[in-house]
Every structure is written in structure tokens, then in C-alpha cells.
Structure 1
Amino acid sequence: MTKTGPRSTDTDRHVGARIRERRIMMGMTLYEIAQMIGVTYQQAQKYERGLNRISAGRLFEVARTLKISPAWFFEGLGESDPAAAASPRQRMCLELIRNFILIQDEAQQRAISHLARSMAEQS
């Protein structure tokens, strides 16, 4: 007989997806956040995938690390399918934000911003 623990829920998957979204927006790797919250890379990965539940204390630590309110992780819960993966367009937007943040030269950031604005006005 095998012991089974609590199974992850749609809420766990939603919170995990929000952790991943914010981590990417902050330009952090999974390894970096794992170190900062004191868990292994594998454990952080399980949190993000919603495979393991995250305790209230750990969620608070994640929120502090990601400079966000713990309530942010629950926004949108129940509004759509929390288990649904981000669309390719959403992933592209998150990657664009992450890469933009990593650009050190402010003049280059301004140039990219102006280019994007100009292209959007032409559409």
C-alpha cells in the first residue's frame, strides 16, 4: 500500500503559474529564486508547475523575494482555467519584458520603446 499525500489542485497550479510569470518578469532564473527562498531547483520547479503545494510561509517568502503582495498570486483565480498554459503570445510578451529589463543601456531601452510605439501606431 502506498501513501498518497494531498494532490495538487487548480489553485496550486494557478499560484505556480503566477510565480513563474512574476519570476520571468523580474528576469530571474528558476535556480536564482530557488536559492533565494531556500529550496532546491527541483522543488521550485514543482511549485511553479503546481505539482507540490506551497505553504503559506513559503508563499510569503516567494512574494517578498519577487517584490509582490502574496494576494497577487491569487488574482484571476476562478476567472479562467488556471491549469491552462500561457499562450505563445503571452510567453513572447514575458520574454520580451525579461529581455528588455536586462538591457543595461537606458538609451537602447528608449530606442526599443520608440520603435515598438512607432510599429504599434502603424498597425
Structure 2
Amino acid sequence: MKHPVDVHVGKRVRHRRWMVGMTQQQLAEKVGIKFQQIQKYETGMNRISASRLWDIAEALSVPVAYFFEGMDGADAAQTTDAGMAGVPGDILGDKEALELVRSYYAIPENQRRRLFELARVLSDAAA
């Protein structure tokens, strides 16, 4: 049976890997394991040892604590805010949303600001 902490940590590994545009194979090579093991970690099927989590954190350029963020229920509180109505609690679990975020940050700052303002106006108009 999967432990909720293992599932959460695995999701955080997957999200960070997607955010940096790394494949399971690339992460596995950096850590020195097979990509199938990364798959098992990301689904929570296998637990990640402390030393392995340290290696994964270094490969993904985040502190180890990153993988535990949101375990205190803060994420659940955010999704109930009025501004988050209709947004899934695990928004980065959606590949389209993740690709949108990645693309957004690839846009130069001044254009990104204008795009943000446009999105805000459109969402206000739709409400």
C-alpha cells in the first residue's frame, strides 16, 4: 500500500523534473539508477531513501525540503480560496498547465507582464 508521504514526495519529484524539462531517463542517469526506478518513485510505489532524495534534490537544483512542501495541508487551504474556485488542488499535475507555466516563464519580462495583464482582464470579463 502506498503511503501518502511517498506519493506526495513522488509528485513533487515529477513536478520539479517537468519544470526543468528533464526526462526520467536524464534524472536517472544523473542519480545513477534506472529510469524505471524514477517511475516507481514518482508514483509513490517505492520509497525514496534519504541519501537518494539528497541526490535527486541536487540533480533538480532544489533543497530536500522542497519535496515536503505542502504536507501540512496548506495546499488544501489555498484551493478553497474564492480566487481558486474551479482550480484543481494539484494544478501542476496537469501537463497542459505545466507546459503553460514553462512557456510563460520563457517569455521576456516586459512581454510576460503584458500577457499577465491581458489574462487578468480576460478572466475578469469571463466572471
Give the TM-score taking structure 1 as reference length.
0.73
- 1:53 matched to 2:57? The reply is no
Aligned length: 109
Q: Distance in 2 between matches of 1:94 and 1:23?
A: 11
Which protein has greater RCO, CA pairs closer than 8 Å, 6+ apart? Answer: 1
Higher helix share: 2
**What is the root-mean-square deviation in Å for CA atoms of aligned residues?**
2.8
Identity over the aligned pairs, expressed in percent? 38
Alignment gaps of 5+ in structure 2: 77-87
Q: Distance in 1 between matches of 2:32 and 2:104?
A: 28
Matching residue of 1:37: 31
Give the TM-score taking structure 2 as reference length.
0.71
Q: Distance in 2 between matches of 1:99 and 1:38?
A: 30
Aligned partners of 1:37 and 1:61 also within 8 Å: yes
Q: Distance in 1 between matches of 2:34 and 2:15?
A: 19
Q: Distance in 2 between matches of 1:89 and 1:112?
A: 26
Alignment gaps of 5+ in structure 1: 1-6, 104-108
- 1:115 matched to 2:115? The reply is yes
